[in-house]
Chain A
C-alpha cells in the first residue's frame, strides 16, 4: 500500500491580488482549503476579507478588479475560464452566503421562486420539479408549512429564516466549498448559535468545505478547524484553531484576545445605592390602536456606586426602553425610579434637568448622536456649565484622544474616536450614572476592545456607575459586576456576573448563555451536550400569552407555567429568578419578592 499523502487541496489560491482603482484591497494572497475543512478567516473591518471572499468566485464589487493570481478549484483555474464557464461553477462547485440575509434575497420575488431559480441554473430540472425541490429544501430546514413559506416574500420571514433560505440556495446544488461572509451579523445570539450549529452539521454531513469569514473570534473558536487572520489585504497568520488561541502570533488577534487575559473588574464592597428601579413598566400602543406591545414589564433592579449592571437580552427584549425610562426620555407607565434617593417620576421640570446632568447616556451609533455641523469642542462645551477650553482638553485626554481633535467635526473621526467623544461628553458633567446603550455594537473589534478598556479605566478613576446595555455577552462579561437577563420585557434572572455566566438558572438565561460563543476552543458549543435548547424563535412581544412568556418554548415548563404569572423570587445564593419550578426546587422562600 502506498503511504497516505496529504489530500489534494480543494481550493488553492496563489498570489491573488484585487484592487479598487489604485487601492489594493487584497495583496498577493495564498491559501489552501482541504475537502471538508472548516476554515475561519478573521480580521478587522476593511482588512479585505469580503473582497477576498468574492474573488474566490471570480467576482469583484465594482469598481474592484482582480489584477493577478490564480484560484484553483479542484485543479481548474477559475480566473482563466470564460464567464459562462465560471457562472456554471458558481453555485454548483462553490456557494456563497453573505451577511444581511434579507438583503440577499430579491425583495419582490417569492422565496420558493428564488430557490427554484438557483436549482434550475445548475440541475437538470424543469420549473415544476425545481419548485417541488425548493419546498423539500425548506421542509428539511425545519420550516413548518413549507408550501406556504415558498410563496412568502422576504419581508414576511424572520432574519434567521432568511438565512436558512440562503443556506438552502447555497447548498442546493451541492457545492464542495461554501464561502460564508459574516453569515450571522445582525442575528440574535440564540439564532446565531442555531444557525451556525446547522451550518456546521450540514457541512460535516455532506462533506463540504467552508470558509467562514467573521470578526467574532468566538465563532472561530467554536466552529473552525483552522484560522487565517487578514490585515491590510494580506494573510498574517495561519494556524490550527487550538494553537492559534493558545498563543496568537499576530498583533491583531493578540489585541483582541488580550481582554480575555485581564482579570475581570472587582465589585466594590458594600456600595451605596445610586439608582433603584421598582416595578418599572412601559407599554406601547401600536398604530392600529388595539394591540399593545409590553416593552418593559415590572423591572426591579438596583445599581450601587461605582458598579456596573449589565443588561442583556435579544432584540425586542426591552433593554433599550429600560435605559430610556431611567432618564425619562420615555415616560414609564408605572413604577418608580429612585435616583440618589429622589423619585425621578415626581421631579419638577427644573429638578429633572438637574437630575439629568447626574445621569448621562451614550448611544449605539456615535455619528447619529453627535451633531455633524459642530466641532468636537462645541459638542463637549455644550455639556459644561460654561465654555472651558482647558476642561475640553482634559476630557479629551481622559478618553484617550489628542486634544487637537477639538477643532474637527465628528465625520473626520473614526467610529471608535466618535464614541470616545460621546463618552467625553457624557462624563463632562461628572454624572453619578452613565447609561451605555450598546456603545460598542457599531464598532470594529479593535475599537470595541479599546472602548471596553476605556470604560473600565474611567470607572476606576471617576467612580461612576454604569448601566451597560448590550446583546454582546462577551463585552458584558468584561464590564459588569451584576447582570440582569431580559426576555420579552421581563427581567428573568438577575445576579452577580459569576452567577449568571458560570451557572445561569432560569431556562432562558441558560439558553442565552449556552448560545454565547466564547473565544476559547476548549469550551466549544458543538462539544457540549445540548441541555438548554429552547424550541422555536422569540415570539412577537405583542399581545403576550398569560403566564410565563417562555412556557411555549421551555423544556422545564409545567402546566401551571402557562396560566400563572411568574414572580421574581430570591434563591438561596441571593440571585433572583422568574421561574417558579426552578425556584421551588431550590427551596426558595415561598413569598414572592415582587409581583
Chain B
C-alpha cells in the first residue's frame, strides 16, 4: 500500500519538475505573445503595457508560482491571446484525443499480442513470416502517409469511411465509430509492430525455459502451458505497451491533423504558433500526466503479475 502511495507521490514530483522546466523553456521563446496579439506594428509602449497587464513583466519564478497557485485551486488560467478559459479548452479536446489513443491502443493490443504469441509458437512458419512483414511495414510507413493512404483507400476508394472530420457520439454511435476507425488504424499500426515483436521474443524466451519443458514432461495440456507461458512472458510486453501508450499522445497530434479531428493537437499547435504560454504549458503537462498514469498502471500491473517485485 505504501509502495503504491510512494509511486503516486513520485509521479506527482515528476509532474512538478516537468512543469518547472516547461515553464522556463516556454518563456525563453524570443517572440512575446504581445506581438501576436497586437500585430507587427505595435509600439514598444503598447507591448510593455500588454505585458504589464498580463503580468508578463514579472520574474519567471513569480509567474510560475502564481500559475501553480491557481492550478492548486483548480484554475489553469486563461489564454493570453483570446482570453478563453484553458480548463474549458482542455476539457473539450482531451476526451477526443484520449478516445483516439484508447482505440488505437486496444486495437494494437488485440492484434499484436495474439500475433506475437502465434509467431513465437510457430517460429519460421507462414504466420511468423506474415507477422514479420506486418511489423516491418508498421515501423517503416510514416504515420501521416499511412493516414493519407487509408483515406485514399477506405474513404475515397471504397467509400466506407468518412474522409476526415470528427463525428461526435451525439450524432450516433455508428457514424462516430466509423469516423474513428481510420485514425485509430493509422495511429495503431506502428504499435502493432512494436508490441507484436516484443511479445514474440518474450514468449519465445519463455518457451525455451526449463519450467515449460518440465510442464510438457509432466503431461500438462497445451492450454495450461499457455497460461504459464503468457503470465511469464507478459512483463516486458506491459513495459512496451505502457511506453507505447505515452508515445501515442505525441503521434496522435499528427493523426488529428491528417484527419482534421478537433483534439488537443489543434489547441496545442495554435498555442505554439501564437506563443500562448499558458496553453502550451497546460496541454503538454496533460500529455505528461497521461504518460505518468500509463507508467503507474504498468507498475501496479507488474506487482500483480510478478510476485517477486511486490516487495
Q: Are A59 and B220 in contact (CB-based, < 8 A)? A: no
Shortest Cβ distance from B164 into chain A, in angstroms? 45
Shortest Cβ distance from B222 into chain A, in angstroms? 8
Known interface pairs A61-B213, A109-B231. Does A153 touch B219 (Cβ–Cβ under 8 Å)?
Answer: no
Q: Which of B216, B231, B306 contacts A59 (CB under 8 A)?
A: B216
Q: Which residues of A contact B228 (CB under 8 A)?
A: 106, 108-109
Q: Which residues of A contact B219 (CB under 8 A)?
A: 87-92, 118, 121-122, 173
Known interface pairs A88-B219, A91-B219, A121-B219. Does A107 touch B214 (Cβ–Cβ under 8 Å)?
Answer: no
**Chain B residues bordering chain A, tally (CB within 8 A):** 22
Report B192-211 CB contacts with A as 1/0, cut-off 8 Å. 00000000000000001111
Q: Which residues of A contact B123 (CB under 8 A)?
A: 62
Q: Are A87 and B221 in contact (CB-based, < 8 A)? A: yes
Q: Which of A62, A87, A166 contacts B214 (CB under 8 A)?
A: A166
Q: Are A98 and B218 in contact (CB-based, < 8 A)? A: no
Q: Are A155 and B214 in contact (CB-based, < 8 A)? A: no
Q: Are A108 and B232 in contact (CB-based, < 8 A)? A: yes
B73, CB-defined interface residue at 8 Å: no
Q: Which residues of A contact B221 (CB under 8 A)?
A: 87, 121
Q: Which residues of B contact A514 (CB under 8 A)?
A: none
Q: Which residues of B contact A169 (CB under 8 A)?
A: 218
Q: Which of A54, A121, A155, A170 contacts B308 (CB under 8 A)?
A: A155
Q: Are A106 and B232 in contact (CB-based, < 8 A)? A: yes
Q: Are B213 and A59 in contact (CB-based, < 8 A)? A: yes
A313, CB-defined interface residue at 8 Å: no
Q: Are B217 and A90 in contact (CB-based, < 8 A)? A: yes
Q: Which of A90, A96, A108, A179 contacts B231 (CB under 8 A)?
A: A108
B305, CB-defined interface residue at 8 Å: yes
Residue of B nearest to A96 (CB): B217
Q: Are B307 and A153 in contact (CB-based, < 8 A)? A: yes
Q: Which of A62, A91, A103, A121 contacts B211 (CB under 8 A)?
A: A103
| Distance of A173 Cα from B219 Cα, bound (Å) | 11
Report A36-66 CB contacts with B as 1/0, cut-off 8 Å. 0000000000000000001001010110000
Q: Are A57 and B231 in contact (CB-based, < 8 A)? A: no
B174, CB-defined interface residue at 8 Å: no
Q: Are A103 and B218 in contact (CB-based, < 8 A)? A: no
Q: Are A90 and B218 in contact (CB-based, < 8 A)? A: yes
**Chain A residues bordering chain B, tally (CB within 8 A):** 33
Shortest Cβ distance from B214 into chain A, in angstroms? 4
Known interface pairs A107-B308, A153-B307, A155-B308. Does A170 touch B218 (Cβ–Cβ under 8 Å)?
Answer: yes
Q: Which residues of B contact A61 (CB under 8 A)?
A: 213
Shortest Cβ distance from B217 into chain A, in angstroms? 4
Q: Which residues of B contact A108 (CB under 8 A)?
A: 228, 231-232, 305-308
Shortest Cβ distance from A213 into chain B, in angstroms? 13
Q: Are B214 and A104 in contact (CB-based, < 8 A)? A: yes
* A interface secondary structure, majority: mixed
Residue of B nearest to A169 (CB): B218
Report B213-240 CB contacts with A as 1/0, cut-off 8 Å. 1111111110010001001100000000
Q: Which of B208, B210, B218 contacts A121 (CB under 8 A)?
A: B218
Residues facing B in A109-129 (CB within 8 A) are 109, 117-118, 121-122
A24, CB-defined interface residue at 8 Å: no
Q: Are A91 and B217 in contact (CB-based, < 8 A)? A: yes
Q: Which residues of B contact A57 (CB under 8 A)?
A: 216-217
Q: Which residues of A contact B306 (CB under 8 A)?
A: 107-108
Known interface pairs A108-B305, A109-B228, A155-B308. Does A103 touch B210 (Cβ–Cβ under 8 Å)?
Answer: yes
| Distance of A115 Cα from B217 Cα, bound (Å) | 13
Q: Are A121 and B305 in contact (CB-based, < 8 A)? A: no
Q: Are B224 and A117 in contact (CB-based, < 8 A)? A: yes
Residue of A nearest to B306 (CB): A108
Shortest Cβ distance from A120 into chain B, in angstroms? 9
Known interface pairs A108-B306, A153-B307. Does A96 touch B218 (Cβ–Cβ under 8 Å)?
Answer: yes
Q: Which residues of B contact A95 (CB under 8 A)?
A: 217-218
| Distance of A225 Cα from B228 Cα, bound (Å) | 37
Residue of A nearest to B234 (CB): A108
| Distance of A79 Cα from B254 Cα, bound (Å) | 58
| Distance of A109 Cα from B217 Cα, bound (Å) | 18
Residue of A nearest to B222 (CB): A87
Shortest Cβ distance from B73 into chain A, in angstroms? 41
A100, CB-defined interface residue at 8 Å: yes
Q: Which residues of B contact A96 (CB under 8 A)?
A: 214, 217-218
Q: Which residues of B contact A117 (CB under 8 A)?
A: 220, 224
Residue of B nearest to A87 (CB): B219
Report A453-476 CB contacts with B as 1/0, cut-off 8 Å. 000000000000000000000000
Q: Which residues of A contact B308 (CB under 8 A)?
A: 107-108, 153, 155
The residue among B219, B221, B231, B308 with the most chain A CB atoms within 10 A of its own CB is: B219
Residue of B nearest to A155 (CB): B308
Q: Which residues of A contact B218 (CB under 8 A)?
A: 90-91, 95-96, 118, 121, 169-170
Residue of A nearest to B207 (CB): A62
Q: Are A59 and B211 in contact (CB-based, < 8 A)? A: no
A486, CB-defined interface residue at 8 Å: no
Residues facing A in B274-311 (CB within 8 A) are 305-308
Residue of A nearest to B231 (CB): A108
Shortest Cβ distance from B207 into chain A, in angstroms? 8
Residue of A nearest to B217 (CB): A96
Q: Which of A104, A109, A170, A179 contacts B210 (CB under 8 A)?
A: A104
Q: Which residues of A contact B307 (CB under 8 A)?
A: 108, 153, 155
Q: Which residues of B contact A109 (CB under 8 A)?
A: 228, 231
Known interface pairs A106-B232, A109-B231, A153-B308. Does A118 touch B210 (Cβ–Cβ under 8 Å)?
Answer: no
Residue of B nearest to A179 (CB): B217
Residue of B nearest to A120 (CB): B224
Q: Which residues of B contact A449 (CB under 8 A)?
A: none
Q: Which of B209, B215, B220, B231 contacts A103 (CB under 8 A)?
A: B209
Shortest Cβ distance from A161 into chain B, in angstroms? 16
Report B115-145 CB contacts with A as 1/0, cut-off 8 Å. 0000000010000000000000000000000
A234, CB-defined interface residue at 8 Å: no
| Distance of A153 Cα from B210 Cα, bound (Å) | 16
The residue among B215, B217, B224, B232 with the most chain A CB atoms within 10 A of its own CB is: B217
Q: Are B213 and A98 in contact (CB-based, < 8 A)? A: yes
| Distance of A201 Cα from B215 Cα, bound (Å) | 25
| Distance of A61 Cα from B216 Cα, bound (Å) | 11
Q: Which residues of B contact A138 (CB under 8 A)?
A: none
A577, CB-defined interface residue at 8 Å: no
A105, CB-defined interface residue at 8 Å: yes
Q: Which residues of A contact B224 (CB under 8 A)?
A: 117, 121
| Distance of A402 Cα from B218 Cα, bound (Å) | 47
Q: Which of A107, A166, A173 contacts B232 (CB under 8 A)?
A: A107
Shortest Cβ distance from B306 into chain A, in angstroms? 6
Shortest Cβ distance from B128 into chain A, in angstroms? 13
| Distance of A57 Cα from B216 Cα, bound (Å) | 9
Q: Which residues of B contact A90 (CB under 8 A)?
A: 216-219
Q: Which residues of A contact B232 (CB under 8 A)?
A: 106-108
| Distance of A142 Cα from B123 Cα, bound (Å) | 43
| Distance of A378 Cα from B23 Cα, bound (Å) | 56
| Distance of A155 Cα from B310 Cα, bound (Å) | 12
Q: Are B231 and A118 in contact (CB-based, < 8 A)? A: no
Q: Which residues of B contact A104 (CB under 8 A)?
A: 210-211, 214
Q: Which residues of A contact B214 (CB under 8 A)?
A: 96, 98, 104-105, 166
Residue of B nearest to A153 (CB): B307
| Distance of A429 Cα from B218 Cα, bound (Å) | 54
Question: Can you name 25 A-B pairs with beta carbons within 8 Å?
Answer: A54-B217, A57-B216, A57-B217, A61-B213, A62-B123, A87-B221, A90-B219, A92-B219, A95-B217, A98-B213, A98-B217, A103-B211, A104-B210, A104-B211, A106-B211, A107-B232, A107-B306, A108-B305, A108-B307, A109-B228, A109-B231, A121-B218, A121-B224, A122-B219, A155-B307
Report the 3 A-B pairs with minimum CB-CB distance, sorted nearest first.
Answer: A91-B219, A90-B219, A96-B217
A90-B216, A117-B224 given. 6 additional CB < 8 A pairs? A91-B218, A91-B219, A98-B210, A106-B228, A107-B308, A108-B228
